[in-house]
A and B are shown apart, each in its own frame.
Chain A
């Protein structure tokens, strides 16, 4: 059976339909249960990081190798012809992609992955373009929610922290809006969800509410998605005054639902106290590990037309 993502680009989460997302999640689940160590034998994948990244790059390159493929590429843009000789990204992509079967990239400028996809005939996977999109993070978040809740529909999901600048929470909220979830946005007023996301959710009749502390809603939640309120966005006094409302510790989880899972895109600093790690609700390290399976799922679907996910 043909799969609809074969040879497609993964640039923006908004390009993916609900059936596309479900196919990716089922495939990730199948690959986690049943490894496919030879699926990408003889495939070469370019891993091009024009901007440095640790988790995304290691997770992606692990995904390639776990499927039996090989990786070429670089881990920061500084030593490339693009940086040193002024080559355009378009030319770089044309050449590198002619060596490879797929092109995974991170770039500091918004729109770089979309542009790259217009200059190559192999699938491009966006590993982050400036402040714009990071769809593979969203896919691993969705997979983790699906894995822990056994569904994506009708969940109570809170997003905490920097909701204004965090592309992770924007993309995840957009993707989950296809699944009729209830959203709770918990942030300082200065870091509230941007208007364009609020407008999109309103247009889709999604239920959401705004809050100023985790404790207001934590007992109702299925998923608590934490991000960091960055100290540098506030003056010291203001930060000290408001920060406690956006920090999580184990004592706040005494009356929560059994199925609650706490997620975080990592790295965390102090927004999740380490005493949460040993509770049954902590799932952020498994979430990071799921990045490998979500990225394996994309590679399997983009590069093989015949791969069948096992339920």
Chain B
């Protein structure tokens, strides 16, 4: 079978792989990668061996800290992050779902007090399969798809 390079290699930076299709653009927006001057290559709806589609992001001169890697789990719970130096993978790790998300998401409950007070939103992971989060304030639980990200 003929192998094709789907996305160009980078010299130094990060490759985020195994992003579910449709999530790549959301990740770019969430991490404000659209506002950086670094070179970014993005692949959308790429074929995988399992037959499902995936997205992939390569960004030069950028490395994820632990907090960002955890936040990435909101969009891509099974993603891997490859750290690249001199065109070689020097570190590879899977994102891990943190136990809570602070100041990242807006509570889907419009009557939750967190919307109009000087506090950061806070959600606890209640269920990992079909990610479900519980609001620290209003105590209501919602599936991940219900949430909007905070700006």
Residues of A within 8 A of B (CB): 12, 14, 88-90, 107-112, 114-115, 118, 129-133, 196
List B contacts of A112 (CB < 8 A).
113
What residue of chain B has the Cβ atom nearest to residue A88's Cβ?
B117
Shortest distance between the CB of B137 and any CB in chain A (Å)? 3
Per-residue interface assignment for chain B, residues 109 to 123, with 1 indicating a CB less than 8 Å from any chain A CB and 0 otherwise = 101111011110000
Taken together as a complex, chains A and B put the C-alpha atoms of A280 and B119 apart, in Å, by: 51
Q: Which residue of A lies closest to B126 (CB)?
A: A196
In the complex, which residues of chain B have a beta carbon less than 8 angstroms from the beta carbon of A131?
A: 111
B113: chain A residues within 8 A (beta carbon): 89, 107, 109-112, 114-115, 129
Indicate if the CB atoms of B112 and A111 lie closer than 8 Å.
Answer: yes
State the CA gap A90–B117 with chains docked (Å).
7
Q: Which of A108, A132, A133 has the most chain B CB atoms closer than 10 A to its own CB?
A: A132
- The answer to the question of B38 belonging to the interface, with a C-beta cut-off of 8 Å to chain A, is no
- A88-B117, A88-B118, A90-B118 are contacts. A114–B112 as well, Cβ < 8 Å? no
User: Closest CB of chain A to B51's CB: distance in Å?
Assistant: 33
Residue B26 interfacial (CB < 8 Å): no
**7 cross-chain pairs, A with B, having the tightest CB-CB distances, nearest first:** A111-B137, A110-B138, A111-B113, A111-B138, A109-B113, A112-B113, A115-B113
A109-B111, A110-B111, A111-B112 known; A90 vs B139 contact (CB < 8 Å): no
- The answer on a CB contact under 8 Å between A89 and B117 is yes
Closest Cβ of chain A: how far from B133's Cβ, in Å? 13
Contact residues in A for B141 (Cβ distance below 8 Å): 196
Q: Which residues of B contact A132 (CB under 8 A)?
A: 138-140
A212 to B114, CA, bound (A): 38
Q: Is the CB of A115 within 8 A of B140?
A: no
* Interface size grouping (class) on chain B: 10 to 19
Bound-state Cα–Cα, A33 to B138, Å = 37
Contact (Cβ within 8 A) A115 B137: yes
Cα A131 to Cα B135 in complex, Å, equals 14
Given contacts A115-B117, A132-B140, 10 further A-B contacts (CB under 8 A): A88-B118, A90-B119, A108-B111, A110-B109, A110-B138, A111-B112, A111-B139, A115-B113, A130-B111, A132-B139
Please state if A118 and B119 are interface contacts (CB–CB under 8 Å).
Answer: yes
Q: Is B144 an interface residue when CB atoms closer than 8 A count as contact?
A: no
Q: Does B94 contact A (CB under 8 A)?
A: no
Q: Which residues of chain A come closer than 8 Å to B109, judged between CB atoms?
A: 110
Interface string of B17-53 (1 = CB under 8 A from A): 0000000000000000000000000000000000000
Q: Which residue of B lies closest to A133 (CB)?
A: B139
Is residue B96 within 8 Å, beta carbon to beta carbon, of the partner chain? Answer: no
Q: Smallest CB–CB gap between B123 and chain A, Å?
A: 12
* Residues of the B chain whose Cβ atoms lie less than 8 Å from the Cβ of A14: 139
The answer to whether A111 and B114 have CB atoms under 8 Å apart is yes
Q: Name B139's contact: one of A89, A107, A110 (CB within 8 Å).
A: A110
Please measure, in the bound complex, the distance between the C-alpha atom of A63 and the C-alpha atom of B112, giving whole angstroms. 29
Residue B136 interfacial (CB < 8 Å): yes
Give the chain B neighbours of A12 by CB distance below 8 A: 139
A109 engages B112 (CB within 8 Å): yes
Chain A residues, CB < 8 A from B112: 109-111
Bound complex: CA A309 to CA B117 (Å): 39
Q: Which of B101-151 contact A (CB under 8 A)?
A: 109, 111-114, 116-119, 135-141
